[in-house]
Chains A and B, each alone.
Chain A
């Protein structure tokens, strides 16, 4: 590796270009200073545009050499969660796990063996999927822990893969107007934030829509406070303003969306050529105003109607845009204002700017999808707003399509989504799940409904294994814990995951040897495979696997080699695929697949636990558990440098809600609902609206006076999301009450 700029190395240290491996998904390039096999320091990488560090990456040596790191395999000797452990050898640990897995597999079927993992390096997840496949088990897809409603929406709207959908809304060279919608990139997505600040410096105004006043809101030209979970109604109200004034972009709608496609009134499906003439043609049909007759969508020189009702071959049809207009007609600004608490005047101004300041860039993150069980509809409404105003970047997102099958040498495992895992454990649907293996996935801390999981589901599991660096909440409930390396201790490949992360591939390099008795995932899985008698799984070196990953044959990976990656990060080539991978190849604000849920259009549905449901009489406050500014989920709570800044969990509450409950700043409060409780310190502040309380998630039970924040959340499945991708945990669609309690 040749350094691109002069770097002042720690005296005697080698400087190695690697990647911050901790799972915020951004994958910042960093330089590691290593002397005599010890990681001493981390600094920003030296490649233009890739440089970023934060309090987390700078704390790397503190994390790697933390005295509390798990040092050897241990088995539980007390009750689950009691914290009594006995060190054992790797041989005994793997032997015990292998024999138990074989027993459970024989008794309930091998797909009752559940595996879940998280991590930025590709090895983490792909190896786990591969191992699940090799033993006939089930991989638990983890996106449903708050990150799957966005992809649900973007798959419907754009056919977008995973988290790349937001690219359509904001990848403009020079945005004239920026809207951060339920998104706080100033705290959580630094690369995206740079683009926004650069646009702002060039004159673009920034509007921030969020129930709470965030760092991003503090930089806004206009901050709009919205009632939690009602964002789709705001988008519909804005669209009403836009259509009323004729500010929509008809040319864009006809060219890039399903606006002119006729929808059959009898069954809600798009009219196809086969419906009106002989043959099996699936071509979509439009109404040509020139000829005053139906035509297929691909015919040239037509003048497609987007408004009206037409009868074709005896079938009554309407263009999809007519149906959208009818929905939008139901949301005049007055009504949308009543739902969202956004003043009519503000909504009108925002809508007019959004439609006329082209291009308007919208930044969504994931926040907006967590405030409602129907978070996918929130994003579909925003996508539709962007589409009707032509504020869409019509190009295929920048993806890195590496070889997903690298470790799936022994077949593909069963897949269960995170929320369906609860069903599988509790009700054995779609099949029993009797063991749970978690690689660096702090499931009991980060997934919803803690009490239900630990009290009702956990006892049904016959084996729980945690592979982690620390005694996390989840490790505490395990039967066997295995010490994993820190990601500075193995080679891996880090790729963009879209949504504010880097655009390039880079090597995560092994810069130090594994500490204590910790092992890398490859070593752990190959050891376990051997004990289970699975032959030929993991017979290559880490670098060889990286080469296989790169060699996917996909055009985006053209020209990328391990040698080049050793030198510098590599940008994938543009994806030649058409921009929209929806069934129609266009932006779909009307989605056939969702018609049976009455969600073919981006309708507004009041959140499940909204402040306007009967449950709110008992539990009047919404709670949001937002991403921390200085930590990453449950990580870094054990780093002294970070705790010096972020000292303890606090509950943000408005003065309006604090006063009638006799709560003063700094008081201990109990937050509760029917599912559970948590006790922590109240922080009375004006950045939180009435009827919302907020806290940063990621703290573990021992950081609270009692309980835990995940005891409040629920694991309700939205079936429409399950039908399209993965159901999402709507963490912030949660009602609670709070009361002051005495210390001690």
Chain B
């Protein structure tokens, strides 16, 4: 069976600590920006809630590249710099990228960013070089609240597939049809006293 790498991010456990974003900088030598960003879902600013007391709510949404089945960024790239591996990982060839940034606007997930130092667009490659040697993505390793999981989502017996099934994990903007490989477990609604 063909392997399909994907990730599951548990929004119930994620505390928005941004360790994954800095871990990505460390692993990939990124000075400004990151292959994964963490948005606050709630109020207008980072770490602020939506609603009014007593019905305040806030959660965090880490968004790496979704490693889509049909990557809109790939179609948008005039230089042919974006490719998809057989295991589903979407890569940017920095040699071919000319920094036109068409892909950035094509991505529904705002997952790509421009590295002005290198004049290339960069994004999460799921630490493919680590995966190829049998190591977990660095953000997964560093996540201190055990909110990030990776594995083969095509194998129903894998831990991530079970997590997706058991927690009814969902993908973002699935209606757009890109077929993202990053799944989310919803935050648990308050059970009240």
**A: which residues have CB within 8 A of B?**
6, 8, 41-44, 51-55, 58-59, 186-187, 190, 193-194, 197, 200, 205, 207, 213, 215, 217-223, 225, 346, 349-350, 353, 629-630, 640-642, 644-645, 650, 652, 665, 683, 685-687, 689
Cross-interface CB contact of A683 among B16, B48, B53, B188, cutoff 8 Å: B48
Q: Is B135 an interface residue, CB under 8 A from the partner?
A: yes
Q: Is B4 an interface residue (CB 8 A)?
A: no
Beyond known contacts A43-B141, A629-B47, A641-B25: 13 more, CB 8 A cutoff: A41-B26, A43-B138, A52-B144, A58-B25, A58-B142, A220-B190, A221-B193, A223-B54, A641-B22, A645-B18, A652-B48, A686-B48, A686-B52
**Chain A positions within 8 Å of B48 at CB level:** 652, 683, 685-687
**Contact present for A58 and B19 (CB under 8 Å):** yes
Q: What per-residue 1/0 map shows which CB atoms of B131-174 lie under 8 Å from chain A?
A: 00111001001101110000000000000000000000000000
User: Which secondary structure dominates chain A's binding surface?
Assistant: mixed
Query: Are B19 and A53 interface neighbours, CB within 8 A?
Result: yes
- Contact status B59-A197, CB under 8 Å: no
Is B86's beta carbon under 8 Å from chain A?
A: no
**Cβ B57 vs Cβ A218 within 8 A:** yes
Please determine whether A349 and B12 come into contact, CB atoms closer than 8 angstroms.
no
| Highest count of chain B CB atoms <10 Å: which of A58, A187, A190, A207 | A58
Residues on A with beta carbons closer than 8 Å to the beta carbon of B52: 686
Give the complex CA separation of A380 and B179 in angstroms: 55
C-alpha gap A205/B50 in the complex (Å): 22
Known contacts A43-B142, A44-B141, A193-B15; is-contact A8 B193 (Cβ 8 Å): no
Select A55's contact among B19, B44, B188, beta carbons within 8 Å: B19
Q: How far is the CA of A215 from the CA of B187 in the complex (A)?
A: 13
Known: A207-B193, A346-B193. A54 touches B17 (CB 8 A): yes
In the complex, which residues of chain A have a beta carbon less than 8 angstroms from the beta carbon of B138? 43
- CB pair B59–A218 under 8 Å, yes or no, is yes
Instruction: Please provide the chain B residues from 19 to 37 with a CB less than 8 Å away from any CB of chain A in the complex.
Output: 19, 21-23, 25-26, 31-32
A221 to B193, CA, bound (A): 7
Measured CB to CB, the closest approach of chain B to A501, in angstroms, equals: 14
- Give the docked Cα–Cα distance between A532 and B23 (Å): 47
Q: How far is the CB of B124 from chain A (nearest CB, A)?
A: 17
Q: Does B49 contact A (CB under 8 A)?
A: yes
Q: How far is the CB of B169 from chain A (nearest CB, A)?
A: 15
With both chains docked as a complex, state the minimum distance between the C-beta of A350 and any C-beta of chain B, in angstroms.
6
Interface centre among B18, B138, B193, by most chain A C-beta atoms within 10 angstroms, is B193
* A44:B54 contact, CB within 8 angstroms: no
The docked-state distance in angstroms from the alpha carbon of A685 to that of B142 is 31
Partner of A630, one of B18, B45, B146: B18
Is B118 an interface residue, CB under 8 A from the partner?
A: no
Q: How far is the CA of A189 from the CA of B68 in the complex (A)?
A: 36
Which of A51, A221, A652 is the one whose CB lies under 8 Å from B190? A221
B130, CB-defined interface residue at 8 Å: yes
A348 to chain B, nearest CB (A): 9
Residues of chain A within 8 A of B145, CB atoms compared: 190, 193-194, 197
* A114, chain B: closest CB distance, angstroms: 37
Interface mask (B41-67 → A, CB under 8 Å = 1, otherwise 0): 011111111111110111100000000
Contact among A51, A223, A645 for B21, CB-based, below 8 A = A645
Q: Report chain A residues within 8 Å CB of B193.
A: 205, 207, 221-222, 346, 349-350, 353
The residues of B that contact A41 with a CB separation of less than 8 Å are 26
The distance from the CB of B10 to the nearest CB of chain A, in whole angstroms, is: 10
A640 to chain B: which residues have CB within 8 Å?
31-32
Total interface residues on B, CB under 8 Å, equals 47
- Report the 6 A-B pairs with minimum CB-CB distance, sorted nearest first: A685-B48, A218-B58, A349-B193, A221-B191, A186-B15, A55-B22
- Closest Cβ of chain B to A598, distance in Å, is 34
The answer to whether A187 touches B43 (Cβ under 8 A) is no
CA distance A220 to B188 in the complex (A): 9
Complex Cα gap A350–B193 (Å): 7
Note all chain A residues with C-beta closer than 8 A to B84.
Answer: none
Indicate if the CB atoms of B13 and A197 lie closer than 8 Å: yes
A contact residues around B21 at 8 Å (CB): 55, 645
* Shortest Cβ distance from A59 into B: residue: B22
- Complexed CA–CA distance, A687 and B23 (Å): 29
**Bound form: Cα–Cα A219–B56 in Å:** 11
The smallest beta-carbon distance between A218 and chain B, in angstroms, is: 4
A686 and B49 contact, CB distance less than 8 A? yes
Chain A residue numbers with a CB within 8 Å of B190 are: 220-223
B32, B50, B190: residue with the most chain A Cβ atoms closer than 10 Å: B190
Compute how far the CA of A640 lies from the CA of B22 in the bound complex, rounded to whole angstroms. 11
- The smallest beta-carbon distance between A400 and chain B, in angstroms, is 23
Partner of A6, one of B22, B51, B54, B135: B135
* A644-B32, A683-B45 as given contacts; A221 in contact with B192, CB under 8 Å: yes
B12 touches A223 (CB 8 A): no
Contact between chains at A665 and B44 (CB < 8 Å) = yes
Q: List 10 A-B contacts (CB under 8 A).
A: A6-B135, A54-B144, A58-B22, A58-B23, A187-B17, A193-B15, A197-B13, A221-B190, A641-B22, A687-B58
B128 to chain A, nearest CB (A): 13
* Residue of A222, A629, A644, A685 touching B49 (CB-CB under 8 A): A685
Which chain B positions have C-beta within 8 A of A186?
15
Given the interface pairs A44-B141, A53-B142, A187-B15, the reply to whether A687 lies near B44 with Cβ below 8 Å is no
In the assembled complex, the CB of A231 is this many whole angstroms from the nearest CB of chain B, namely 17
Q: In the complex the two chains form, what is the Cα distance from A207 to B54 in whole Å?
A: 13
Partner of B146, one of A194, A207, A642: A194
Q: How far is the CB of A134 from chain B (nearest CB, A)?
A: 41
Determine the distance from Cα of A43 to Cα of B42 in the docked complex, in whole angstroms: 31
A52 to B143 alpha-carbon distance, docked (Å): 8
Report Cα–Cα, A55/B138, bound state, in Å: 13
Chain A residue contacts of B49, Cβ below 8 A: 213, 218, 685-687
B59 / chain A contacts, CB cutoff of 8 Å: 218
Query: Cα distance A6–B136 when bound, in Å?
Result: 11
- Pairwise interchain contact B56-A686, C-beta atoms closer than 8 A: yes
How many angstroms from the CA of A665 to the CA of B48 in the assembled complex?
13
Closest B residue to A343 by CB, please name it. Answer: B54
CB contacts (< 8 Å) of A213 on chain B: these are 49, 53, 56, 58
Chain A residues with CB under 8 Å of B133's CB are 8
Residues of A within 8 A of B16 (CB): 215
Chain B residues, CB < 8 A from A51? 144
Distance in Å from the Cβ of A236 to the closest Cβ of chain B? 19
Collect the chain A residues with CB atoms within 8 Å of residue B42's CB: 218
